[in-house]
Amino acid sequence: MENYIIYTFIFLLGLAIGSFLNVVIYRLPKGEEIVIKPSHCMKCGERIKPYDLLPVISYIILRGKCRYCGEKFSIQYLLVELLTAISLVGIYFAFGWTSPADTIAMMVLVSMFIAIFVIDVYHYIIPNEIIVFGLVSGVIFSILKGVNFNNLSLFNWDVLKDSGLGLVVGISVFFLIVILGEWFMKAEAMGMGDVKLMGVVGLFLGFKLTVLSMFLAFIIGSIISIFLLVTKIKGRRDQIPFGPFIVLGSMVAAIWGTQILSWYFSLGRI
Ligand SMILES: [Zn+2]
């Protein structure tokens, strides 16, 4: 019984965070204020009342339309809210509450990932605001993970060192790739946004999983890019943003990374 209450709470929390991510996704690329300005209809400009801002429920009651002018709101709002809620529930299910700092860090990382994914797909940018938030929260979480709450004098420096190493490796490897790409291919497959994002991933996941994330990002990126080109969804000259591949690769690494690495290293011993 108790479990259902926790899961329901996390689901509702996820809907609320998803609702906030929608605001981030809509306003950050336009350079608008996130917190100060109240929500309004993009067509008629009418301010949306708080009771019409309930995640999912309001969307269903109003059938995805503006109460005042009938303008249809994108289904993306609903999907982002549901995806966030389901992801947070999934993280709690997978990680439990044995190490709260780890679980909450994962929830923060996934929420950031959802916003970055959608923004990069549409605008080919990864906003610096999200990067700064990621760097600051990443440092806070790696400090929290190192704290031994039973004995505060026993701080585990290894966690902090591992995060720092992840940050340095993530940034330098991707920075090198960007530089080499521009020198040799005159191509801009990746930008500085991807370099910075990889640094954030490094802070959250540490050295080993960061290396795996980069590897997976390139594999997933190649497969999806080929698919997009073959199906002609994207043409040869179209830009395909790399941020979403970093997000997907890092997600796989964060969830199954430890298993993947132990499987990989067990192959070498045969
Ligand atoms: Zn309207």
3-state secondary structure of 65: strand
What is the CA(63)–ligand 1 centre distance, in A?
A: 13
State mean pLDDT over 65-76.
Answer: 92
Q: What angle do CA 240, 245, 251 make, to 5 degrees?
A: 160
Cα distance between residue 187 and residue 75, in whole Å: 34
What is the CA(18)–ligand 1 centre distance, in A?
A: 22
Residue given tokens 């796989």 in the structure block: 252
- Please report, for the chain, the start and end positions of each structural domain, with discontinuous segments joined by +: 1-96, 99-270
What is the CA(74)–ligand 1 centre distance, in A?
A: 13
Nearest to 244 by CA among 227, 258, 261, 224: 224
For residue 207, the model assigns a pLDDT of 97
Nearest to 134 by CA among 176, 171, 97, 159: 171
Residue 5: pLDDT band with limits 50, 70, 90: very high
Cα distance between residue 256 and residue 259, in whole Å: 5
What is the CA(39)–ligand 1 centre distance, in A?
A: 11
Q: Are 118 and 56 in contact (CB under 8 A)?
A: no
3-state secondary structure of 47: strand
What is the CA(46)–ligand 1 centre distance, in A?
A: 6
Per-residue pLDDT tens over the stretch 147-178: 888 888 888 899 999 999 999 999 999 999 99
What is the CA(73)–ligand 1 centre distance, in A?
A: 9
Rounded-to-5 percentages of helix, strand, coil across the chain: 70, 0, 25
What is the CA(114)–ligand 1 centre distance, in A?
A: 26
State mean pLDDT over 77-98.
Answer: 94
Percent of the chain clearing pLDDT 70 (strictly above)? 96
Cα distance between residue 28 and residue 37, in whole Å: 12
What is the value of pTM for the model shown?
0.91
Q: In this predicted model, which residue has the larger pLDDT, 9 or 269?
A: 9
What is the CA(96)–ligand 1 centre distance, in A?
A: 42
Residues 270, 253, 11, 145: what is their CA dihedral angle, to the nearest 10 degrees?
100
